[in-house]
Amino acid sequence: MFPYSSGNYQIPNPNYRFIPQGQYYNPYSEPPQRLTFVLVHGSWADVHFWDGVAAVLRSQGNIVYTPEYAGHGTDSNKKVTHAMITKSVVDYIKQLNLHDFILVGHSFGGTVIQKVSEQVPDRIKRLVFWDAFVLKDGESLADELPPQTRQGFEELRKMSDDDTIMLPFETFRALFVNTATTNDAKLFYASVAPEPAKPLFENLDLKAFYALQIPKSYVYFFQDNVLPQGEGYGWNPHMSTRLGLFRLIVGDGDHFTDTRTRPAYLAQKIYDASRD
Amino acid sequence: MFPYSSGNYQIPNPNYRFIPQGQYYNPYSEPPQRLTFVLVHGSWADVHFWDGVAAVLRSQGNIVYTPEYAGHGTDSNKKVTHAMITKSVVDYIKQLNLHDFILVGHSFGGTVIQKVSEQVPDRIKRLVFWDAFVLKDGESLADELPPQTRQGFEELRKMSDDDTIMLPFETFRALFVNTATTNDAKLFYASVAPEPAKPLFENLDLKAFYALQIPKSYVYFFQDNVLPQGEGYGWNPHMSTRLGLFRLIVGDGDHFTDTRTRPAYLAQKIYDASRD
Amino acid sequence: MFPYSSGNYQIPNPNYRFIPQGQYYNPYSEPPQRLTFVLVHGSWADVHFWDGVAAVLRSQGNIVYTPEYAGHGTDSNKKVTHAMITKSVVDYIKQLNLHDFILVGHSFGGTVIQKVSEQVPDRIKRLVFWDAFVLKDGESLADELPPQTRQGFEELRKMSDDDTIMLPFETFRALFVNTATTNDAKLFYASVAPEPAKPLFENLDLKAFYALQIPKSYVYFFQDNVLPQGEGYGWNPHMSTRLGLFRLIVGDGDHFTDTRTRPAYLAQKIYDASRD
């Protein structure tokens, strides 16, 4: 959990003392760091999930990449594996020869950045998980679902003729966009496509991931309703603590809504998790 | 947990794409839905508990009912049962012939709306629990209290000569109005009357409740101090997850205070939980 | 858990009814209570930790004391025990003959105010724990750390030649100032000195503490990342509930940052926890 390299030890400056200013501190007075982001979306989404956040981050001088992956977006082939999805992102990173970037994963995207980081660890400056799955070695995403949710996913999977899962509107509305207005919930749902089921049930070998020394952060939004937050389930602390030493950033939002309604707020939280 | 009716499946519109607006989204630009609410208060309260919230909801075009129930308000008979309390609300609904309403329960009122919904399920559009008890089949409210609190309630019950529980000021101040100013805490306490004890210790048959298909929401205020939030107790996720599929809305407030100090904020959270 | 003295029972005033004002309530319209505070800092800090908060509290008419304790600040002797630290604060209180004060402890300071309150219970008006350890009788602070953190502390302890623990920057940044800007994190770290290790591993006899009848409050900041908040660890409810009846106040902040960036916000939360 602790990095012990003596290089981290800075000489304390005993002359530094805080002088109260009598007013709230303005975090924007410090020139922002310019970073490179690679944003990896989750299930029932495509790269347009990040449109709002990427626009805000770019407007503040950051460089932002949003790779699509197998079985999503314009890829009509739904018969994909977790390895194919990982390969999509790794290939994207290698072809563009990206280095020193913040690799952000949302939801299922957490499992993707776990596997991507095993393959290109030296290119990554920091891993940021936003309400994202952090699987233990050997687990599948489905192993982190409460029994009722897992059973629901399995039944939906059986109902499909191409091994996908399509969320009914009521399920999506209650779990993914619970804070949205009625109209926004419908607009979100209009862009939801059936999700390839297999990658959600594949057990992942993550031994290499847990040996990596890349800095890590976890962004947790406290209105997220995809998983219960406690009683053996949930984003934080249940899965976040598997990261060992990590920076925590907490925000007020749910699983999807703020990407469209408050992209600047979400972008700020991701930036707070990403800066040095 | 999942409603699978094919009627819920909407055809995705591939042309819908979010266009970043460069500014925060205004949720008030969407015309609000007009709803009918039936608000059911909890223990150590009467219908005036809802005065502020009802005024705000009505000012926004909603219809609001606040039934009183046996053993509370102007009813001087404190020897009541949970069934009598349920009957008060059911009779109120039938006499006014209410339909298609949002049934909201707060605290002990959660157990009341559980039982009311068993008797008039077809009249209810949605159940909303706000920091409210959701009992398992066969449980009593007292079963959800930590041992120390339960023992305190039992000792207070024995001290009364009419089988009621009167909360000492310090207990009420610490658990129910913890965020209030000193004066507001005293004003709240001035309207607290002894609570009939028996309904808090009655085991409830809730098999019918758990077979109902009514949509459900849970509003959780994170400064609520009536129950510890974790370690096997609490509003969310401990009791909320018993609802199966539910919409979660989280707010910043305690158990009572915001009804008087920030009724518009609380009304907005209840509305967010209630709209389609 | 419940104070039952009949003196607490106030006659309900049935004429009091809330009249909705149609606007948000202003908590500042009630003249603030003027209180006396004794603020006890935690590990890797000295009395300057409180500079901002004390300045705000004083500007609002409160009296504020910030005792330094053995092994910290200008005390170059790092070979201290928990009893020596407690004695520093008790001596300070006795020499200044302080009475009727709010005793506030932060982090490790929670264990200090537990022991101080055993020695001068009649002088204390209320105990306030802010993201502070509340140890069980016989426990050490180290017993409340997750295994990985405890092991990290033990390894850092062994690395020192004077039985202290110096946090590497990455650890401090991730756990103590996770919400801070990069520059602020560095400024905070510049004032961090090696912490005497022994008091963190001493088992404390707290039988007398758990027999005290002093009112208690707990301030919990939900971005605090020193301990996981759940799964058997954490500030609230894991340790807070050991206080029995306590007033909960929740704020948005981490373990250290807000003392410098938002002292007025933190001071308000401490005041909210302290008033009658």
| Helical ranges in chain C per DSSP H | 51-59, 82-95, 109-119, 147-159, 169-175, 182-190, 198-201, 258-261, 263-274
Q: Encoding tokens for residue C143?
A: 């017993």
Give the pLDDT of residue C29.
Answer: 62
Cα–Cα nearest to C116, from C148, C156, C74, C87: C87
Q: Encoding tokens for residue A233?
A: 């389930």
pLDDT tens, residue by residue, A206-226: 999 999 999 999 999 999 999
Q: Encoding tokens for residue B215?
A: 């949509």
Q: How close B131 gets to chain C, by Cα (Å)?
A: 16
Give the pLDDT of residue B30.
Answer: 72
Residue C242: Cβ within 10 Å count: 20
3-class DSSP assignment, residue A148: helix
C-beta contacts of C23-28 below 8 A and 24+ residues apart:
C24/B261, C24/B262, C24/B264, C24/B265, C25/B260, C25/B261, C25/B262, C27/B181, C27/B261
pLDDT tens, residue by residue, B149-165: 999 999 999 999 999 99
What's the Cα-to-Cα distance from B226 to each of A66, A230, B174, rounded to whole Å? 45, 18, 8
Instruction: Decide: C40 and C105 in contact? Cβ < 8 Å.
Output: yes
3-state secondary structure B208-239: CHHHCCCCEEEEEECCCCCCCCECCECHHHHH
Instruction: Decide: A245 and A276 in contact? Cβ < 8 Å.
Output: no
Tell me the chain B residues in contact with residue A170 when contact means C-beta distances shorter than 8 Å. Answer: 3, 8, 215, 245
Q: What residue ranges define each of the domains in chain A, with the CATH number in brackets?
A: 33-274 (3.40.50.1820)
Nearest to A262 among B17, B25, B229 (CB): B25
Strands A195-196 and A164-165: antiparallel
Residue C112: Cβ within 10 Å count: 27
Alpha-carbon gap, residue A193 to B11, rounded angstroms: 9
Averaged pLDDT, B250-270: 97
Q: How close A198 gets to chain C, by Cα (Å)?
A: 30
Q: How close B87 gets to chain A, by Cα (Å)?
A: 31
Tell me the chain A residues in contact with residue B248 when contact means C-beta distances shorter than 8 Å. Answer: 174, 178, 223, 225, 254
Nearest to B20 among A55, A155, A252 (CB): A55
DSSP C117: H
Alpha-carbon gap, residue A272 to A251, rounded angstroms: 11
Alpha-carbon gap, residue C183 to C171, rounded angstroms: 16
With a cut of 50, say whether residue C7 has pLDDT above it: no
Nearest to A174 among B10, B236, B247 (CB): B247
pLDDT tens, residue by residue, C144-203: 999 999 999 999 999 999 999 999 999 999 999 999 999 999 999 999 999 999 999 999
Instruction: Decide: B212 and B236 in contact? Cβ < 8 Å.
Output: no
Q: Do C159 and A9 touch (CB under 8 A)?
A: no
Low-confidence ranges of chain A (pLDDT < 50): 1-25
Rg of chain C in Å (alpha carbons): 19
Q: Do C166 and A9 touch (CB under 8 A)?
A: yes
Q: Do C261 and A33 touch (CB under 8 A)?
A: no
* ipTM of the prediction: 0.90
> What is the interface size between A and B, counted as CB pairs within 8 Å?
114
Residue C249: Cβ within 10 Å count: 24
Q: Do C228 and A250 touch (CB under 8 A)?
A: no
Q: Encoding tokens for residue B107?
A: 């605290």
Alpha-carbon gap, residue A69 to A45, rounded angstroms: 11
> By CA distance, what is C74's nearest residue in A?
A14
pLDDT-based confidence at C30, cuts 50/70/90?
Answer: confident
Alpha-carbon gap, residue A243 to C59, rounded angstroms: 43
Give the pLDDT of residue B7.
Answer: 36
With a cut of 70, say whether residue B14 has pLDDT above it: no
Q: Do C168 and A2 touch (CB under 8 A)?
A: yes
Alpha-carbon gap, residue C42 to C112, rounded angstroms: 9
Q: Measured on CA atoms in the order B182, B184, B186, B189, is the torsion positive or negative?
A: negative
Q: Do B2 and A168 touch (CB under 8 A)?
A: yes
Q: Do C10 and B225 touch (CB under 8 A)?
A: no
Q: Do C190 and A249 touch (CB under 8 A)?
A: no
Alpha-carbon gap, residue B171 to B166, rounded angstroms: 10
Q: Encoding tokens for residue B108?
A: 């002990």
Instruction: Decide: A221 and A255 in contact? Cβ < 8 Å.
Output: yes
Q: For chain B, what is the total number of helices (H) and then of strands (E)?
A: 9, 8
3-class DSSP assignment, residue C206: coil
C-beta contacts of A159-163 below 8 A and 24+ residues apart:
A159/B4, A160/A194, A160/A197, A162/A78, A162/A79, A162/A194, A163/A78, A163/A79, A163/A196, A163/A197, A163/A198
Strands B101-106 and B36-40: parallel
Give the pLDDT of residue B207.
Answer: 98
Q: Do C168 and A9 touch (CB under 8 A)?
A: yes
Q: Which chains touch C (3 or more CB pairs under 8 A)?
A: A, B
Alpha-carbon gap, residue B120 to B68, rounded angstroms: 17
With a cut of 70, say whether residue C15 has pLDDT above it: no
Alpha-carbon gap, residue A16 to C190, rounded angstroms: 7
pLDDT tens, residue by residue, C70-96: 999 999 999 999 999 999 999 999 999
Cα–Cα nearest to A139, from A193, A206, A222: A206
Q: How close B119 gets to chain C, by Cα (Å)?
A: 32
pLDDT tens, residue by residue, B222-259: 999 999 999 899 999 999 999 999 999 999 999 999 99
Q: Do C2 and B231 touch (CB under 8 A)?
A: no
Alpha-carbon gap, residue B8 to C134, rounded angstroms: 50
Q: Do B169 and C8 touch (CB under 8 A)?
A: yes
E-only strand ranges, B41-100: 63-65
pLDDT-based confidence at B29, cuts 50/70/90?
Answer: low
Q: Encoding tokens for residue A15?
A: 């002359």
User: Whole-prediction pTM value?
Assistant: 0.91
Q: Do B4 and A159 touch (CB under 8 A)?
A: yes
Alpha-carbon gap, residue B224 to B171, rounded angstroms: 14
Q: Measured on CA atoms in the order C171, C172, C178, C182, is the torsion positive or negative?
A: negative
Read off the amino acid at residue C128. Answer: V
Q: Do A248 and C178 touch (CB under 8 A)?
A: yes
Nearest to A12 among C191, C225, C252 (CB): C191
Q: How close C73 gets to chain A, by Cα (Å)?
A: 10
Q: Which chains touch B (3 or more CB pairs under 8 A)?
A: A, C
Instruction: Decide: A251 and A270 in contact? Cβ < 8 Å.
Output: no
Residue C195: Cβ within 10 Å count: 23
Instruction: Decide: B228 and C241 in contact? Cβ < 8 Å.
Output: yes
Q: Which chains touch A (3 or more CB pairs under 8 A)?
A: B, C
Least confident residue range of B17-26, B190-199, B238-247 = B17-26
Give the pLDDT of residue B31.
Answer: 77
Strands B195-196 and B164-165: antiparallel
Alpha-carbon gap, residue B217 to B269, rounded angstroms: 11
Tell me the chain A residues in contact with residue B10 when contact means C-beta distances shorter than 8 Å. Answer: 169, 186, 189-190
Give the pLDDT of residue C24.
Answer: 42
Q: Mark residue B138 as left, alpha or beta (left: phi above 0; alpha: psi -120 to 50; beta: remaining).
A: left
Alpha-carbon gap, residue C245 to B79, rounded angstroms: 29
Instruction: Decide: B218 and C240 in contact? Cβ < 8 Å.
Output: no
Q: For chain A, what is the total number of helices (H) and then of strands (E)?
A: 9, 8
Instruction: Decide: C177 and C253 in contact? Cβ < 8 Å.
Output: no
Rg of chain A in Å (alpha carbons): 19
> By CA distance, what is C53's nearest residue in A?
A20
Strands C195-196 and C164-165: antiparallel
Instruction: Decide: B217 and B126 in contact? Cβ < 8 Å.
Output: yes
Nearest to C192 among A3, A12, A249 (CB): A12
Nearest to A222 among B24, B27, B250 (CB): B250
Alpha-carbon gap, residue C69 to C80, rounded angstroms: 10
Alpha-carbon gap, residue A194 to C107, rounded angstroms: 48
Cα–Cα nearest to C163, from C80, C231, C41: C80
Q: Do C169 and A10 touch (CB under 8 A)?
A: yes
Give the list of residues 6+ apart from residue C106 with CB closer than 8 angstroms, or none.
C39, C40, C41, C42, C45, C49, C130, C131, C132
> By CA distance, what is B270's nearest residue in A?
A179
Q: Encoding tokens for residue C175?
A: 């756990």
What's the Cα-to-Cα distance from C169 to each of A271, C9, C158, C165, C182, rounded to whole Å? 20, 53, 18, 13, 11
DSSP C235: I
Q: Do C1 and B148 touch (CB under 8 A)?
A: yes
Instruction: Decide: A236 and A220 in contact? Cβ < 8 Å.
Output: yes
Q: Which residue in A186, A191, A256, A265 has the most chain B C-beta atoms within 10 A of its own C-beta, making it the best mutation to test that interface?
A: A191
What is the four-CA torsion angle of C42, A18, C70, C189, rounded to 10 degrees? 60
